[in-house]
Amino acid sequence: MAGEKQDQVWPLPKFYFKVTVDGGMEASFQEVSGLDAEVDVTEYRHGDSKGFSKIKMPGLKKYGDVTLKKGTFTTDIKFFTWFNANTLNTIERKKVTIMLMNESGGAEIVWTLTNAFPKKVSGTDLNSGSSDVAVETLILAHEGLAITTK
């Protein structure tokens, strides 16, 4: 019946999320991708091993670059400014928080990027035959990905 509580638990939709960057940078992003981590596998076999195969051990962790896409606004150049602040020996690293929200606006899952800095900033492509929104892209390199739930 209408108004009854669901018996099943449903997966969260992915369209309601919020991104914040330390230092007061906040923007409404259209898309976030690259929230992944993996571990190198180290193979080893010692000389007196009775097995005819190598053992596998976890090695160093690796984190993929995170790609953020958002609409281009006339006076909003915060990410280009952050990108230009990074030079050879001067890197402005920030904590970036990505929150997947529930229907009430509360964070359900939070991804936190450690020591993130802009690796690439791309302005929109231009096409006189298109009526699409101008979208810019920010690619972040980072040194760690922590995932927490509410």
Supply the pLDDT for residue 4: 66
| pLDDT values of the chain reduced to their tens digit, one per residue, 150 residues | 566 666 667 788 889 999 999 987 777 889 999 999 999 999 998 888 888 889 999 999 999 999 999 988 888 888 888 888 888 888 899 999 999 998 888 999 999 999 999 999 998 899 999 999 999 999 999 999 999 997
CB 117 within 8 A of CB 94: yes
- Name all domains of the chain by residue range, CATH numbers in brackets: 17-38+55-149 (2.30.110.20)
Query: 0.95 exceeded by the pTM?
Result: no
**62: Cβ–Cβ under 8 A, 6 or more apart, which residues?**
37, 38, 39, 40
What single-letter amino acid sits at 64?
G
DSSP conformation letters of 106-125: -EEEEEEEEEEEEEEEE---
Could you identify the residue written with the tokens 């992944």? 36
Structure tokens at 115: 């020591």
Burial class (CB in 10 A: 0-12, 13-18, 19+), 9: exposed
Structure tokens at 65: 């670059």
